[in-house]
Amino acid sequence: MEWQDEGLVIGARKHGETSVILELMTRAHGRHLGVARGGRSKAMRPVLQPGNLVTASWRARLEDHMGAYAVEPLVSRAARYLDRGAALHGVATLAALLRLLPERDPQEGLFEAADAIAAALGAEVAAPMMARFELSLLGALGFGLDLERCALTGTRDDLAYVSPKSGRAVNRDAGAPWKERLLPFPRLLRENVGGVSPHELADAFRLTGYFLARDVFAPRGAAMPASRELYISAISSIA
């Protein structure tokens, strides 16, 4: 069995004396692991850092085996994260979120979104992209929210809230009597907009975080990654 693909480095852990088990989010083969021989060498360690984009060749005797990776650098980004706290926490958060995906489940849209975020970390556009990525991830995991029309009136206009119980959008006027019990639905999750305020970002991460915690992490007996809160704090301090 053999294939070649682009892959976003999620992480690498020691394996034997000189190798690592490399975890990539690939374009066509999903989240995929393999042994990278010599991955702990001075030449390869900078390449196998989270956030970098590589070209990967994977080979195994059988499809369900761990297999082995041979990788070449394509886009190196990790070095520019080092002096940016928000970027470091951001790439750690991105990796933790991608690990929620089943192994070897192709998700090309999520790969492209994750790669775009990794390229943008440190810039203002990265945070809204991350929030929208979390919303897309919920959908990919089977917990997509119904945000197209109001759950009470059926209208598509002025959707301002989301029900924490049903995950459905609610119109501003229809939801007004219960607004204290509803989650704000910021425009950055409805459309790709610029000039996002810190308040809107906080609302967006509050919304996605609520459903990630309830529907994804809690059933697995896991907590939200600490890096996510650190990332949100970091982007708030520089907004």
Cα 239 from Cα 140, distance rounded (Å): 30
pLDDT of residue 177: 96
pLDDT of residue 63: 86
Region 2-76: CATH code? 2.40.50.140
Count the neighbouring beta carbons within 10 Å of the beta carbon of residue 151: 20
Contact 22, 33 (CB under 8 A): yes
Confidence label for 238 from pLDDT (cuts 50, 70 and 90): low
Contact 190, 202 (CB under 8 A): no
Mapped onto helix, strand or coil, the DSSP state of residue 101 is coil
What mean pLDDT is predicted for residues 164-176? 97
pLDDT of residue 64: 86
- DSSP lists the bridge partners of residue 14 as 20
166 burial type by CB count under 10 A (0-12 exposed, 13-18 middle, 19+ buried): exposed
Dihedral, CA of residue 190, residue 194, residue 195 and residue 197, to nearest 10? 30
Confidence label for 6 from pLDDT (cuts 50, 70 and 90): very high
What mean pLDDT is predicted for residues 161-177? 97
What mean pLDDT is predicted for residues 179-203? 91
Amino acid identity of residue 209, one-letter, is G
- For CATH 2.40.50.140, the residue range(s) in the chain are 2-76
Over 60: is that where the pLDDT of 239 sits?
A: no
Contact 171, 150 (CB under 8 A): yes
Summarize pLDDT for 24-39 with one digit per residue, the tens.
999 999 999 999 999 9
Least confident of 9-23, 84-98, 185-199: 185-199
Contact 49, 41 (CB under 8 A): no
Cα 81 from Cα 91, distance rounded (Å): 8
Summarize pLDDT for 57-93 with one digit per residue, the tens.
999 999 889 999 999 999 999 999 988 899 999 999 9
Backbone angles phi, psi at 194, to 5 degrees: -105, 175
Cα 165 from Cα 65, distance rounded (Å): 41
Give the mean pLDDT of the chain: 95
pLDDT of residue 93: 98
Cα 21 from Cα 36, distance rounded (Å): 6
